[in-house]
Each structure stands twice: as structure tokens, then as C-alpha cells.
Amino acid sequence: MNNPLLTDDLLPKFDHVRTEHMEPAIDQILSENRMKIAQLAQQDHPTWETLAQPMQATEDRLERAWSVISHLNGVMNNDDLRKVYKRCLEKLTEYSTELSQNAELCEAYKKLAASDEYKGLSEAQRKSVDNTLRDFHLGGVDLPQEKKERYANLSMELSELSNRFSDNVLDATQHWYKHITDVEELAGVPESALEGAKQAAKQKDLDGYVITLDFPSFYPVMTYCDNRDLRREVYEAFVTRASDMGPDAGTWDNTPVMAEILKRRHAMAKLLGFNNYAERSLATKMARSVDEVLDFLNQLAAKSKPIAEREFAELKAFAKDTHGVEDLQAWDIGYYSEKLRQERYDISPETLRPWFPVNRVVPGLFAVAEKLFDVQIEAKPDVETWHPDATAYCISRNGEPLAWFYLDLYARQGKRGGAWMADCRVRWRNLRGQLQLPVAFLTCNFTSPVNGKPSLLTHDEVTTLFHEFGHGLHHMLTQVDVLDVSGINGVAWDAVELPSQFLENWCWNPDSLALIASHHETGEPLPDDLLQKLLAAKNFQSGMAMVRQLEFSLFDFRLHAEFTDEAPTNPLDMHRQVRSEIAVVEAPAFNRFPNSFSHIFAGGYAAGYYSYKWAEVLAADAFSLFEENGIFDPETGKAFLHNILEKGGSQEPMELFKAFRGREPEVDALLKQSGITEDAA
């Protein structure tokens, strides 16, 4: 058959996609796109139909193929695919830089922006043209030839380095494991985690139990295992991944990779006239200046740290008084925090697991979305996927399909850790006037079902699923027909987390919990006493959690803001400095957290990790309107749908927020939601 990556099908033919199809598809698309773009750039009187629309067609064709390749690299990684992915990524980076520096094409867009036609375009079309011109500038189109070439080389090198960083983290995570034959060494670890450890051992043809650095395996050891030496061993392996320390010291060391990434980012920012990469990052965000971001983070830190200090003092006193621990270490925090939570609230994540089976949570999540946004969600088991764990679904309204998505929930070998949403197809009206529906990939790394029992989730994992589905709804419920600003396209990065963090609120309300929680054996609803304990414990150690996130945000932002050629910022030193100012838990000298911080070194969050907190303010304030009107109030749901989810990137996020909320966001909503108030200090 023809190359399955070159078809016009809405849903990819995963049964037919092979590694050998990937590079030829990318080569063909890039070659044809280059020819098309050369023609489009020659126009004297470009219009939306003769320039912008055909350009979007070239973008869509490439994205349709690349989204599948990139996705498979993340969820079905192997040596062959990794090599092909790397080669394709180099070609794409070269093409992307070439495109953003195409002076003739930029000139054509300038003519369109200056024409009478521009004034008559829709708001989404004008925003698309404006963003394109901004991105030409940020891609180096205005630079003299010599600097253009320098910028292009830096882009290529940066792309390769980021990919290497990601590969190193994956290899370091998947290489280490601890084989245990005596179950007594795992005393305290819940049965569900022991079953998973048994399954991991079987997969390696070993008897007994295997602990890995995948989160569903790592977390129960750190939280429940009575064996302090084992906790320390697992903790050390985790926080030294891809570094010069720990059990695999030097094997996949990201230290030099980080230094080279920072050097290139800084050089690219300077070429474009910015003082540092943090300034360059803010050129496409809501926040207007480096000082505004630092003030925002420091303001939250000032309000949170006293509460975090009080919480940590309570934890130390508890560990000493009840367990005789004089020297509380980093590998003890999760363990004694859990003991304190159980004593104070008589509840633990493990107590709740039986009430959150995947086969109840997923339909419950869908029911929440259906009630809020007047949609219907239906599984489509006949649709081809890449793995038996993955399932396809269709979202419709009144029988009319709106979007599709794939759900891939469980951790496995060859799958990148964490949870994420990615586009598979973007909604837009194509050159033939046909509407392409959006398609999303939703990926998590939960514990697989074991021995015929359903996967039982912690409440944190339920929240993660809701978070990613919020991103998915932003992508899928858009009503924008212009590719560049449809769904999450064109949305300022510090606003992109609004729908995801917003949807998390439905994991904490009795009315919505009734839809997502029931016992996996009896089907009984979550008992009221457990519900009350869950809600009472919601803000347990919220000050410590807040300063931990602020530590990551300040580390990332200052790392990029303070870098200079004369004194390149050292990630390890910067992390220690930020921790000394804000953290309440002391990290051991061997901690190498930056070396596996993929969000900023291999993802899109460089000088942008603060976006989580920034958007959390928006999300908390948006949810406060539902608290006032009722969490399933149809009119409020409709207002959020119409003003936020449907609009995509077609308008500035602050304008959209104000249209929904009637005013600008207020930080107090987040502090109140987190229990961080004057009374709590």
C-alpha cells in the first residue's frame, strides 16, 4: 500500500505504520512543501486564500505525519525508531529555521497585513497573520545573512541537544532496577504496589520483586516502605538519574548537555536583540517582563514559605516524637508525611485506591465533561491503535462528531514517563472547504491492571488524568477554523495550563466525586466519612507543595535570566542557591534534580515553568465562579466553553479571561484554594 503517513485519513492507520515509512514520508513532505512555499512567496498581492490558507495546508500535512512519529517515539520507543526520529528531527529543525528566515515569504505576509483585505479578515485570521509576523522576527528573519546562518546552526544544535537530554533521562530511568527476593525488605509497601513489583520481576524473568524508577514503582517505596536503607537507595538512584553521581554515575550524564543547551539558548536570544533567554521566552507569553514574573513568584513565595516552615517543623517533631527520628532526611519526607497524614486525618492514598478503579474513573471523567460542556463521549474499540492498552474515543454533540482522542494510560517499557496531551490532528477548514476535526493523544503512566483486577488509581493519579483531559478539551472543543490559532495553537504558554488545572477542581467536589468514585468490588459509592477525610486532607502540607513548585519555577526562570557569556549560570549552583532561599527541606549533596528536569531542557517550558503557577491563579479564579453558581451550572459551563475552550488562540488570553470572569484574575483565589491564608500562617 501507499505510505500510511501520507494519507488524508482523519485517524492514522497505526496497524500499517512501520519505522521504514517515517523518513521517506518526512522527506517527501518537506520536498513538496519547499516547492510550494517558493511559489507562494512570489505573490505581488497576496490574500488570505492565496497565501495564508495554502501555507496552513503545508503546515498541516507535515504536522499530520510528524505528530504520529513523535507520538510513537514517546510511547513505543526502541533503538530503530530512536535513530529515525533523530534524523527526521534534524531535517524538521532545518526546515523550520529555513521557513522562519524566509525573507520573501515574510514580505508576502507583510503585504497581506498592510492590505485592505486584512481589515476585513476575521479576528482569528488577523491573529494568525500577526502571530506569523511575530514568529518571523523571533526566527531571525531580520538578521543579516551571517547571523541568520549562525541562528540556524544554533537551532539545529539545540534540537539535537534537547533530544539527547530526553534520551539520557529515559535510558537512565529504565536501566536501573532493584531486585528483591525477601518480601520483608518491602514491609509497609501496599499490596497493589507489591503486585506491580512482582509483575516487573516476571517481565525480567526473575523471581521475587523488582523496583524500578518509573513513578508507579518509585512512589510507593518512598511513601510506605519501612526499610529506610532501601528508601535511601531508591531515592538516590532517582535524584541522580542522568548525572555524574549515583549508581550509574557518568553513564548518561546530562551535565555537559545542560551547559551546551543554556549557551545556545542565550546566544539565540542575543542574536534577536534580547538580553537573555528569559526575555525571549516572554515574547510569546501573557507576562510582560522578567521583573513581573519574578515579582509574581516571590510574592507567592513570601506568603507560602512561613506556612511551609511551620508544616516542616510539625513533620520533624512528629518523626522525632513518635518514631525517634532525630535526623529527618530527604528520603524520609514522603514516608513520615504519609504517617502524619494518616494520624491527623486517618486517610492515605492507599485507603482510597479501591474506590478509584480506572473502569469507573474514566467514565466518570467523561460524565463530568458531558455535564459541563453538553457533549457525548463514546469508545470506538474498532479503531486501530499502537498498543492494546490504547483506546480511541469520539466526542460528539447531538449526534454530530466534534473530535476524537486516544487514551493510553499505563506505564510500560519503552514509554516515556509522565503524563501529557499532544495533538494528532488540528481542527481547521482546509483548501477544499472541508472541516478537519481535531484528534488528541492523551498519555499517562499508571500501574497496569494485574491478575485480572482493574488498575486502581490514587486520588493524585485521578487528578493527573483530569489535568491532561483539560488540555485535551482545549484542543478538541475549539470552534476556530484557522489552523494557527485553533485549539491550543497560538495560546500564550502561561495560559495554556488554564483548562487543565481548572478541570482538576472536579476531583475535589462531592457532586463530581459521586460520578468518579465507587468500590472496584462492591460498586458502593465513596463512604461519606472517607469523602470528608479526603476533603479535610486536601491542603495537607500545601505550603510545602507550593514552595516546591516555586523552587522549580524560580530555578528555571533565574537560570535563563541570569545567564551571561562571561559567567554562564551553572544549573547545579543555581538550584542550590534557589533552594537555600526558598526550600524548607534540605537536599543531600548528591541530589542532581536539574539533570532530569525534562520540562525545561527537553520540553517547551524553558524560562516558562512559572506558567503552571501563573495559570493556576487563572484556574482557581475561574473555578470560583462555579463555586458561586454551582459546579455543574449549565450557564457557567457554557460561558467557560464559549469564552475559553472554543476560542483557542484566536484572542489574547487576558481578554478571554475577562470575558468569562468579568474582571482580571486575582491571586487570592489560588491562596484561598490552597489554604494559604493569613490565618494559616
> Cα(220)–Cα(225) distance, rounded to whole angstroms?
7
Q: Which three cell numbers stand for residue 221?
A: 517505596
Closest CA to 614 of 564, 667, 578: 667
Q: What percent of the chain has pLDDT over 90?
A: 95
Helix (H), strand (E), coil (C) string for 3-27: CHHHCCCCCCCCCCCCHHHHHHHHH
pLDDT at site 450 = 84
pLDDT at site 679 = 58
Neighbouring residues of 43: CB distance < 8 A, sequence distance ≥ 6? 50, 51, 108, 111
603-606, Cβ contacts within 8 angstroms, sequence gap of 24 or more: 604/493, 605/493, 605/556, 606/265, 606/277, 606/281, 606/556, 606/560
For cell 483585505, name the residue.
Answer: 117
pLDDT at site 1 = 56
Closest CA to 240 of 255, 225, 227, 230: 255
> Cα(278)–Cα(445) distance, rounded to whole angstroms?
31
User: Helices 103-114 and 19-40 sit at what angle, rounded to 10 degrees?
Assistant: 60
> Cα(46)–Cα(52) distance, rounded to whole angstroms?
9
Domains 4-170 and 255-347+541-609 share a fold: yes
Q: Which residues pair with 428 in a beta bridge?
A: 436
Residue 184, Cβ neighbours under 10 Å: how many? Answer: 8
What pLDDT band is residue 677 in, cutting at 50, 70 and 90?
confident
Q: Is pLDDT above 60 for 184?
A: yes
Best CATH choice for the domain 4-170 from the list 3.40.50.720, 1.10.1370.40, 1.10.3720.10, 3.40.50.10860 = 1.10.1370.40
Task: Give 557-573 pLDDT, tens digit per residue.
Answer: 999 999 999 999 999 99
Task: Give 456-498 pLDDT, tens digit per residue.
Answer: 999 999 999 999 999 999 999 999 999 999 999 999 998 999 9
> Cα(645)–Cα(477) distance, rounded to whole angstroms?
6
State the catalytic residue, choosing from 338, 461, 468, 551.
Answer: 468
The values of phi and psi at residue 509, to 5°, are -110, 135
pLDDT at site 178 = 98
When pLDDT is averaged across residues 612-641 and rounded to a whole number, the result is 96
Q: What percent of the chain has pLDDT over 70?
A: 99
- Within 505-648, residue ranges assigned H as helices are 510-516, 528-536, 542-561, 571-582, 598-601, 611-629, 634-640
Pairing, β 428-429 against β 177-180: unpaired
For cell 517533631, name the residue.
Answer: 317
Angle 327-582-262 from CA coordinates, rounded to 5°: 115
Q: Is pLDDT above 60 for 142?
A: yes
pLDDT at site 678 = 62
pLDDT at site 452 = 85
pLDDT at site 224 = 97
Contact 467, 503 (CB under 8 A): yes
When pLDDT is averaged across residues 613-624 and rounded to a whole number, the result is 95
Question: CA distances (Å), 458 to each of 361, 445, 461, 531, in order?
Answer: 11, 12, 5, 14
CATH number of this structure's domain 355-536:
1.10.1370.40
Contact 352, 459 (CB under 8 A): yes
Identify the H or E element spanning 370.
helix 358-373
Helix (H, G, I), strand (E, B) or coil at 659: helix
Pairing, β 400-410 against β 439-446: parallel
Residue 202, Cβ neighbours under 10 Å: how many? Answer: 12
Q: Is pLDDT above 90 for 648?
A: yes
Q: Which residues pair with 681 in a beta bridge?
A: none
When pLDDT is averaged across residues 175-184 and rounded to a whole number, the result is 97
When pLDDT is averaged across residues 139-156 and rounded to a whole number, the result is 96
- Per-domain residue ranges of the chain: 4-170, 176-239, 255-347+541-609, 355-536
Task: Give 348-381 pLDDT, tens digit per residue.
Answer: 888 999 999 999 999 999 999 999 999 999 999 9
User: Helices 255-271 and 145-175 sit at what angle, rounded to 10 degrees?
Assistant: 160
Q: Is pLDDT above 60 for 189?
A: yes
Give catalytic status of residue 468 as yes or no: yes
Question: CA distances (Å), 415 to each of 12, 169, 221, in order?
Answer: 19, 12, 21
CA-based torsion, 617, 619, 625, 631: positive or negative: negative
Q: Round the average pLDDT of the chain to a whole number and report it.
A: 96
Task: Give 235-291 pLDDT, tens digit per residue.
Answer: 999 999 999 999 999 999 999 999 999 999 999 999 999 999 999 999 999 999 999
For cell 509483575, name the residue.
Answer: 199
CATH class of 255-347+541-609: mainly alpha
Reported in sequence order, the residue ranges of 156-299 that DSSP labels E, i.e. its strands, are 177-180, 209-212
Task: Give 391-422 pLDDT, tens digit per residue.
Answer: 999 999 999 999 999 999 999 989 998 999 99
